[in-house]
Amino acid sequence: MIPAPFDYVRAESVDEAISALGSHEDAKLLAGGHSLLPAMRLRVAHPGTLVDIGRLRDLSYVRDDDDTIAIGALTRHHDVANAEALHAGCPIVAYAAGQIGDPQVRHMGTIGGSVAHGDPAGDMPSVLLALDATFVAQGPNGMREIPASGFFTSLFETALAHDEVLTEIRVPKSADGWSYMKFNRRSQDWALVGVAAVRSNGGAKVALTNMGLTPMRAAGVEEALSGGADPAAAAGRADEGTSPPSDAFGSAEYRRSLVKVLVKRALQEAMA
Ligand code: FAD
């Protein structure tokens, strides 16, 4: 379908983008356009103005910052997948970026767009949730940091205000013991279910893709591990607190069963 009519503004800086968002009530940022434009074509999104930040090159970087790695929000999935700093310091992020869509999607889509879109089926949100990443947002009143645990608020909704731009994502270095299990029928498809696991203090932090309205931590699994359960026993609690969708690709019941298998495999890989 053809999108509803909209105005277009190209921002030359983050400040310009914030001011354009503030002066148009129904404006939306456009980054790689690989989630927003399909939604506009389906007419499930109809912003009156698009504020294009896709050419803000100074928001495209991956930097080693001592204990953390800082990733600019406009960094394309392809560049995340190939960043040396991530391969050395936080390989799960590079690996998961390489699992997103196909090469065309990875050359256009951005890590910031994946996060800000708040799609529970997206690969990167659950990986960043398992890592306890920090999101940096800039708005008219300055900069603030939002922990991943408080960022994803509901289906396609996040803690970002209408006039805030996500500028940076910070991930703690975490190189030993990780796994991202993405289950899909064809290699370039979205995850039917995904599981991110990162080894931590003898246990693991585990987050789930496409098991509810938001990406979520597998609290039951983490509790079982910290109580001394082995991966197979802990994985039995993988669907606790989830509300997976039923759709043409699989029923909720199938996803509940699948997530237990994937959590077990992810834990075995991360803790091996
Ligand atoms: P856009 O589409 O430009 O924006 C998405 C939303 O985020 C909009 O609401 C926009 O206003 C907001 N936004 C963007 N940047 C910012 C920012 N810096 N600050 C605040 N708000 C912002 N994703 C997966 O995870 N796994 C897949 O397997 C997968 N497969 C795909 C297959 C296809 C065919 C397509 C078209 C997309 C696929 N995607 C997949 C989605 C892809 O990863 C998108 O690129 C990503 O979800 C959104 O990034 P974007 O830069 O394109 O954002």
At 176 the pLDDT is: 86
Q: How many CA atoms lie within 13 A of 9 on its CB side?
A: 22
d(C-alpha 186, C-alpha 178), whole Å: 23
Q: Is residue 157 part of a domain?
A: yes
Q: Is residue 58 part of a domain?
A: no
Residue-number span of the structural domain to which 76 is assigned: 63-172
- Identify whether residues 228 and 151 lie together within a single domain: no
pLDDT digits (tens, 9 = 90+) for 114-136: 999 999 999 999 999 999 999 99
Of 140, 172, 204, the residue that ends a domain is 172
- Identify whether residues 75 and 152 lie together within a single domain: yes
Atom in ligand 1 nearest the alpha carbon of residue 30: 3
- Identify whether residues 150 and 69 lie together within a single domain: yes
**Ligand 1 centroid vs 113 CA: distance in angstroms?**
4
- CATH of residue 265's domain is 3.30.390.50
At 48 the pLDDT is: 96
At 202 the pLDDT is: 84
Atom 26 (ligand 1): residue with closest C-alpha?
A: 100
Q: Is residue 2 part of a domain?
A: no
d(C-alpha 214, C-alpha 245), whole Å: 11
- Identify whether residues 155 and 191 lie together within a single domain: no
What predicted TM-score, i.e. pTM, was given to this entire model? 0.97
**Ligand 1 centroid vs 251 CA: distance in angstroms?**
25
Please state whether beta strands 7-10 and 62-65 pair in parallel, antiparallel, or not at all (unpaired): unpaired
The domain tally of the chain equals: 3
- Identify whether residues 143 and 194 lie together within a single domain: no
At 25 the pLDDT is: 83
Of 156, 172, 188, the residue that ends a domain is 172
Q: Is residue 235 part of a domain?
A: yes
**Ligand 1 centroid vs 226 CA: distance in angstroms?**
35
Query: What is the best residue among 114, 135, 167, 209 to mutate for testing ligand 1's pocket, by most ligand atoms within 8 Å of CB?
Result: 114
- Identify whether residues 25 and 112 lie together within a single domain: no
- Identify whether residues 165 and 190 lie together within a single domain: no
Ligand 1 site residues (CB inside 6 A) read 28-36, 38, 73, 100-101, 105, 109-110, 112-114, 116-117, 122-124, 160, 165-166, 190
Q: Which two tokens stand for residue 191?
A: 């995850």
Residues of the chain with pLDDT under 50: none
